[in-house]
A = this chain, B = another copy of it.
Amino acid sequence: MRAHDLVAPFPTVTLDLPVEQAARLLADQDLPGLIVLDERGRPFSILPGTQVLRLAVPRYCQDDPALARVIDEAHADTFLRALGERTVRDSLPGRPRELPVTDPDATLLEVAALMARTHSPVVAVVDGGELLGAITLQALMDRLVGT
C-alpha cells in the first residue's frame, strides 16, 4: 500500500484567512490540522490542531502559565473573538524545518515515520507540486491496525 491509496481530499486555507475562521473550520469539520497554501496553491505550512490553537493564544500567554492564569474567566472564554481580523499570515511562527509533505509512492511506514518526526497528524500528498490531498493519522492508524 502506498500514499496514493490512502490520500483523501482535505480542506485548505490561505495565509489571508482570519485565524478565527481557521479555528472555526478546524472545529466545525473535526479536523486534526490545517493545510495552509501559499499564493501558488502549494503547501506553505501544515499545522497540527494544537498549532492552529497556538495562532489564537495571545503571545504573552503561550510560554508562561502564570500569565495565562491572571486572565479572568470571562476574557478567557472569549479570547478567540478578541483576535478580530488577525490573519494566519500575521500569526504564523517561522516556517518549520520539515513540512509533513510526501509523494504518492511513499509507503505506510514512510508516512508513519514522517508523522512521528514532524508531530503532525496530517501529511499532505503532493505530486509534481500539485496538492492531491492529505493522509490523516486516523486514516493511517485504521489501515495499520486493519492490516
Which residues 125-147 of A have a CB within 8 angstroms of B?
Answer: 137-138, 140-142, 144-145, 147
Determine whether the beta carbon of A110 is less than 8 Å from that of B49: no
Residues of B within 8 Å of A75, CB to CB, are 109
What is the size category of the interface that chain A forms with chain B? 35 or more
A51 at interface by CB-CB < 8 Å: yes
Contacts of A137 on B, CB cut-off 8 Å?
49-50, 53
Establish whether residues A27 and B145, one from each chain, have CB atoms under 8 Å apart when the complex forms.
yes
Q: How far is the CA of A96 from the CA of B78 in the complex (A)?
A: 30
Measured CA separation A17–B98 after assembly (Å): 32
Cβ-based interface call for A39 (8 A) = no
Residues of chain A in range 49-64 having any CB-CB distance to chain B below 8 Å: 49-51, 53-54, 56-58, 61-63
Contact indicator B68/A116 (Cβ below 8 Å): no
Residues in A lying within 8 Å of B, measured CB to CB: 1-2, 23-24, 26-28, 30, 32, 48-51, 53-54, 56-58, 61-63, 65, 68-69, 71-73, 75-81, 106-110, 112-121, 137-138, 140-142, 144-145, 147
